[in-house]
């Protein structure tokens, strides 16, 4: 059984699960939002309703607020924090950057509409914000660092 100081607390697990779900679900939506199963290829789908263009932004903002609430809840407690949450906070950013690179390198297979580029930009900005805020809150505000190695020299 692991040492209690090494186990992630429930709010950290919610944050970890949120990062993993965002890193998988957002790219799937972005990739297949324009999928045409009849022609086995993409079409340039863009919503006709202008209000639908804001949906990725509101989902990203809501996700970021929830993640920050979990992070602040765990950071306010005086106990050892897991490092796994800080490491996995970068997953949505990485998945967004991979999709962007695939779109740049292989524009035919990964051709995105303007709506998908909008959702991709939201994913990258929210992923970077979550990662930077996680690192900042954990290591700067709380003055918590990772100790490697032995004792005093």
In a domain, 26, yes or no: yes
**How many structural domains compose the chain?**
1
In a domain, 40, yes or no: no
Entry pTM: 0.77
Name the pLDDT band for 151 (thresholds 50, 70, 90).
low
Rounded to the nearest 10°, the torsion over CA 73, 77, 83, 89 is 10
In a domain, 45, yes or no: no
In a domain, 151, yes or no: no
| Mean pLDDT (whole number) for 71-83 | 67
Mean pLDDT across the chain: 78
- 61: pLDDT strictly greater than 90: yes
pLDDT at 143: 62
pLDDT at 84: 78
Q: Which residue has the higher pLDDT, 2 or 104?
A: 104
In a domain, 22, yes or no: yes
In a domain, 78, yes or no: yes
In a domain, 127, yes or no: yes
Q: Give CA–CA dist 60/116, Å, rounded.
A: 14
In a domain, 57, yes or no: yes
Name the pLDDT band for 115 (thresholds 50, 70, 90).
confident
pLDDT at 128: 95
Q: Which of 77-81, 87-91, 121-125 shows the lowest per-residue confidence on average (mean pLDDT)? A: 77-81
Q: By residue range, what is the domain housing residue 103?
A: 10-35+51-141
Answer yes or no: are the C-beta atoms of 36 and 102 closer than 8 Å. Answer: no
């Amino acid at each position: 059984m692991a040492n209690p100081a090494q186990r992630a607390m429930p709010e950290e697990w919610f944050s970890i699960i949120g990062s993993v779900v965002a890193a998988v679900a957002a790219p799937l939506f972005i990739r297949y939002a324009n999928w045409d199963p009849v022609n086995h290829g993409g079409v340039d789908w863009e919503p006709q309703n202008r209000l639908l263009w804001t949906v990725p932004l509101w989902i990203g903002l809501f996700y970021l607020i929830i993640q920050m609430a979990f992070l602040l809840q765990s950071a306010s407690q005086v106990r050892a924090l897991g490092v796994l949450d800080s490491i996995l906070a970068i997953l949505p950013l990485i998945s967004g950057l991979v999709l962007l690179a695939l779109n740049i390198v292989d524009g035919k297979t990964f051709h995105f509409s303007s709506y998908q580029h909008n959702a991709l930009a939201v994913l990258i900005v929210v992923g970077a914000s979550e990662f930077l805020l996680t690192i900042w809150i954990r290591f700067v505000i709380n003055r918590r660092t990772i100790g490697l190695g032995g004792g005093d020299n």
